[in-house]
Amino acid sequence: MSDTRPPVDDHDLTLTAPFTAADVALEERRCLHEGFFRLEELHLRHRLFEGGWSDRMVREVHHRHDAVGVLLYDVERDALVLVEQFRAGAIDDPDSPWKLEVVAGLVERGEGVAEVARREAMEEAGCEVGELIELHTYYPSPGACDERVTLFCGLVDSRGLGGVHGLDEEHEDIRVHVLPFIRVWELLQAGRLDNAMCLIAFHWLAGERASLRARR
């Protein structure tokens, strides 16, 4: 049967009074695993858009540290600094579990996100960041994970950068690539930049690149 409902007009949506955490009844929280990350099982109900409450449901939530990502961009040379490393979550990737990414790291208790951005740029790429531009803060996968990512663009001097970096105690083996913007665009079009931080940051840069270069 075809759907005869009229299309939704975005202007008719009421977004001024959204549901809040008070509209969720969390009945039980169980820890299923405690390691570097934590996996919990939640038993809950929540309010429904059309009134009343949902049935009791069970959801698993992966608890992670919040994270920071930094797209390192050399305005003068129109070049980007990307890092390449093995990623366990991509171990079944049909092409390779080694991924090209922006510099990134986890936020430890008491740290500011800008502080983490500068620290990770030095640890992973041997790169000192000048101006730091905050882009977005977002949930990569809120259906199953509580992680929030803050994304930056860091303006850098890419001369002399390269080699292999990372902390031995964190089992990091990170290769640094300095690539012209046009080459990174080709890699994106070919599907080589297939992680959210990289895609979001690079599309932001594609829109802002001209204005950044005009500031030289």
Catalytic center residues: 170
Question: In this structure, is the dihedral angle defined by the CA atoms of residues 107, 113, 125 and 202, taken in order, positive or negative?
Answer: positive
| 57-63: strand order across its sheet | 24-34, 38-46, 57-63
- At 188 the three-state DSSP class reads helix
Q: Say if CB 71 and CB 83 are below 8 A apart.
A: no
> E strands of the chain, at which residues?
24-34, 38-46, 57-63, 67-74, 79-86, 98-101, 103-106, 132-138, 149-155, 164-165, 174-180
Q: Can you spell out the DSSP letters for 118-156?
A: HHHHHHHH-----SEEEEEEE-S-TTTB---EEEEEEE-
